[in-house]
Structure 1
Amino acid sequence: MPAPVRVAVVGAGGIAKACHLPALRSMAAAVEVVAVCDVDLEAARRMADDWTIPRYFTDLDQLLADQTPDLVIVSTPPSVHREPVIAALNAGAWVWCEKPPVLSLAEYDEIARHERAGGPYVSYVFQHRFGSAAQRLRELVANGALGRPLVALCNTLWYRPPGYFEVPWRGRWDTEGGGPTMGHGIHQIDLLLSLLGDWTEMVATAATLDRETETEDVSFAIVKFASGAIASVTNSLLSPREVSSLRFDFTHATVELEHVYGYHNANWRWTPSATADVAEASTWTPVEDESGSHQAQLRRLLDSYHRGERPAASGADGRRVLEFVAGLYQSAFEGRTVRRADLDSSNPFYRSMAGESPAEFADLLKPTKGDDHAQLRRPVRS
């Protein structure tokens, strides 16, 4: 059995306590948590005490020099992903970084230049693709057992009260990179893309209907895939009955998932078509029942680490969902169809999810009030 992987946690906030540290504790034989780092000394000290972590730091460079971790988990707010990820890679450590990966495609590509063949690599937290049912569905899509993908629905309908946005970094382009599309729906979108592959074009709209935020609080997109499939994608923070749902219609089956923040096999429904092989359909549901969790992704990340192979949700595989979000925002801002091929380095939405004019985009998202209905403003393009 290989020696335990030495792990450092950067960011002593809620996501580390709720998700990362429990996942690490569940794999105590495979990992050793050697240190925690946070700019808030007391927060770092409390986490070290509460989770029996031997050392705590406020300076990441010092932690990296003193502890030489094998893996660094970055669980800071989105605007504080880039620097610690690059620092850890440059120190030779693999990285597991919370979503959204970074604030732009440009930042993502900059980080990728600090990776090296065989590692270190950085993988991003998209845990929903790692549950048993999602893994089984991916196999069935790949081997053609379900037929061609035709129609998909992807909904993240969550609720965040007005007070949620009182946290200074939330709801701002420069610190969060977007609204529910970027920070919440990105999980379901990644799961959608991991199953259906590359998208080719989309048309979208977004608006700030009710919350005090410069980003959107709701977005919609119609998306075409290279396979020929068409999907609708909805993201909202205004929905009192919360649900995360996906539906896939293949030529031989409909596969549905409904949950909120995590799933097991019971959250999935498999419905064969009238022409499907019933005997084969009985094998579609996986025997193993693993949730789409941080623990599931961490276990696979450690396997990749020991093999020296690029992990899932990394490189081009991790970048695809950021391309999707950038394309959605550009389509919503410019009121036109956007192709995935448009998102090269010359595109302003490559450098920022709000393009060149975050203030103009923020103003556009707020509907004007007419006598009978609200209308979204569109920028005038010469």
Structure 2
Amino acid sequence: MTRKLTVGVVGGGIGAMQIEAFRALPDLYSLEVICDIDASRVESLAAKHAIPNVLTDFDALIARDLDIISICTPSGLHFEQAKKALLAGRNVIVEKPFASSLAEADELAKVEQESGKRLCPIFQYRFADGLAQLQRLRERGLVGKAYAATVETHWRRLPAYYDNPWRGRWAKELGGCLVTHAIHNHDMLMRVLGPVRSIYARTATRVNPIETEDCAAAVLEMADGSFATLSVTLGSQEEISRLRFCFDGLTVESNHSPYNPGKAPWRFIAADPERQKVVDVAIAEVDPAPELYAGQFSRLHKALTEGGELPVSIADARPSLELITAAYHSARTGEAVRLPIGQDHPLYAGWLPPTARGRA
């Protein structure tokens, strides 16, 4: 019989989307507690989703006998709350970015190992049928040498979006469009093409009067020798996300859904009709599976109850923080930055600008 895992969610903003996913997996999870400093919001979520317990204090939450604590609070709180939950003997799910520096990511890896519990960063865009189809083609040897790729994260954020007191502020959100918006698409790029060798990036604040960047562009050299370009803006009148890959014998393009570009259908354009037939057959072999949060959580349940690899581990998610670190350093120095980034790098301990460090 499948063992249900008990869950407490802290943070009722993005946490509401996680709650929907947990509720969609009733045989796997029992959502026991919702915690938020906003008492009215937490009461409303509890009533809507029949969650039996409400709290407004994080320490009270991690004191509960729960299998998992899911952290959906403002970004600047993620590291400390994840660390406290691990030390309290709880498995942890944590929204992106799961830490505010590579140093914190490496510390969490040590705490995870010492605690005997497991930490799963959120990268829900990875779990979608279109991306799975591309991975199947790669397994079949139908994806040749990579040449170039483009990633567009063109979203729209109006001034009202920043009425929330932690958005658009370095110390609370830990960055702008590179951290809170494009991070998922850039993670998908690295899932497909592998590690980044170097990056040249530029950032600007052009759309709204905020502390952090809302436009960015970058050129990446990948470790396999291919190139990728990144384009990010929060000033697009039509919201899209698009990933396009040019391989030897195959061009691949994602759908344009801004918040789930990994879902099918994707376009797979082969070099000739015979190769196209083989590609189409391989794609058809991929059965639809739970996507986004439900996709990640269904795989997480298996890892926690049966053992094996997490759907996303700290090691899996760390390259996203390394790319952010390198992009900000390149934008500030005007120079290309080589990866990997070691402990001697000026931003290893944190990518926030000096004027933002230590601010509440």
Shorter-chain TM-score range: over 0.9
Change beyond 3 A, Cα 1:69–1:291: closer
> Residues 86 and 111 of structure 2 are in contact (CA less than 8 Å); yes or no, is this contact kept in structure 1?
yes
5+ residue gaps, structure 1: 360-382
- Look up the equivalent residue of 2:20 and give its one-letter code: P
In structure 2, the partner of 1:252 is 249
Alignment pair present for 1:9 and 2:6: no
1:97 is aligned to 2:94: yes
* 8 Å contact from structure 1 (residues 172, 213) kept in 2: yes
Q: Counterpart in 2 of 1:138?
A: 135
1:348 — aligned with what?
346
1:128-151 C-alpha deviation (Å, 9 max, x unpaired): 111122123123335532111111
1:339 & 1:268 partners in 2: Cα distance?
Answer: 32
2:294 counterpart of 1:295:
yes
Q: Is the 8 A contact 1:263 1:291 kept in 2?
A: no
Alignment-mate amino acid for residue 80 of structure 2? E
SS class of match (1:349)? coil
The aligned residue for residue 175 of structure 2 is 178
1:243 and 1:175 map into 2 onto residues whose CA distance is 26
AA of the residue aligned to 1:294:
Y
TM-score, length-scaled by structure 1: 0.87
Residue 192 (structure 1) aligned to one of 168, 178, 189: 189
Matches for 1:194-209 after TM superposition, within 5 Å = 194-209=191-206
> TM-score, length-normalised on structure 2?
0.92
* Helix, strand or coil at the partner of 2:281: coil
How much has 1:41 moved relative to structure 2?
A: 2.9
Given that 2:137 and 2:279 are in contact with CA atoms closer than 8 Å, whether structure 1 keeps it comes out as: no
Secondary structure of 1:116's partner? helix
Q: 1:99, 1:34 → 2: CA distance?
A: 23
Asked if the contact 1:330–1:355 (Cα under 8 Å) also holds between the matched residues in 2, the reply is no
What CA distance in whole angstroms lies between the structure 1 residues aligned with 2:342 and 2:262? 38
Counterpart in the other structure of 1:128 = 125
Output one character per residue of 1:68-98: Cα deviation in whole Å (capped at 9) or x when no partner.
1111111111012122211221122211111
Alignment partners' CA distance in 2, 1:59 and 1:277? 58
TM-fit CA distance, 1:191: 0.8
Report the secondary structure of 2:113's partner residue: coil
- The SS at the match of 1:34 is strand
Cα pair distance change 1:177/1:265, threshold 3 Å:
closer
1:25, distance to aligned residue in structure 2 (A): 0.8
**CA distance in 2: counterparts of 1:121 and 1:12, whole angstroms:** 23
CA distance in 1, matches of 2:282, 2:179: 32
Q: Which moved more, 1:268-277 or 1:169-178?
A: 268-277
Superposition deviation, residue 275 in structure 1 = 8.3
Root mean square deviation, CA, Å: 2.0
SS of the aligned residue for 1:139 comes to helix
Report matched runs for 1:1-382 at 5 Å: 1-13=1-13, 15-17=14-16, 19-65=17-63, 67-116=64-113, 119-257=116-254, 258-263=256-261, 265-274=263-272, 277-286=275-284, 287-290=286-289, 292-341=291-340, 343-356=341-354, 358=356
Aligned equivalents of 1:319, 1:223: Cα separation in 2: 17
Aligned residue pairs: how many? 355
Cα distance in 2 between the residues matched to 1:118 and 1:298: 21
Q: 1:304 to 1:235 in 2, by over 3 A?
A: same
> Which has the higher mean CA deviation after the structures are superposed, 209-218 or 265-274?
265-274
Secondary structure at the aligned position of 2:246 is classed as strand
Shift of 1:254: 0.5
User: What is the CA–CA distance in structure 1 between the aligned matches of 2:179 and 2:67, rounded to whole Å?
Assistant: 29
**Residues of 2 paired with 1:199 and 1:171: CA distance?**
27
Q: Contact 2:269–2:276 at 8 Å: present in 1 too?
A: no
Q: Output the CA distance in 2 between the equivalents of 1:349 and 1:149.
A: 30
Contact 2:2 2:27 in 1 (8 A): no
What code does the residue aligned with 2:327 have? L
Secondary structure at the residue paired with 1:114?
helix
Q: Which amino acid aligns with 2:118?
A: Y
How far did 1:282 drift?
A: 1.9
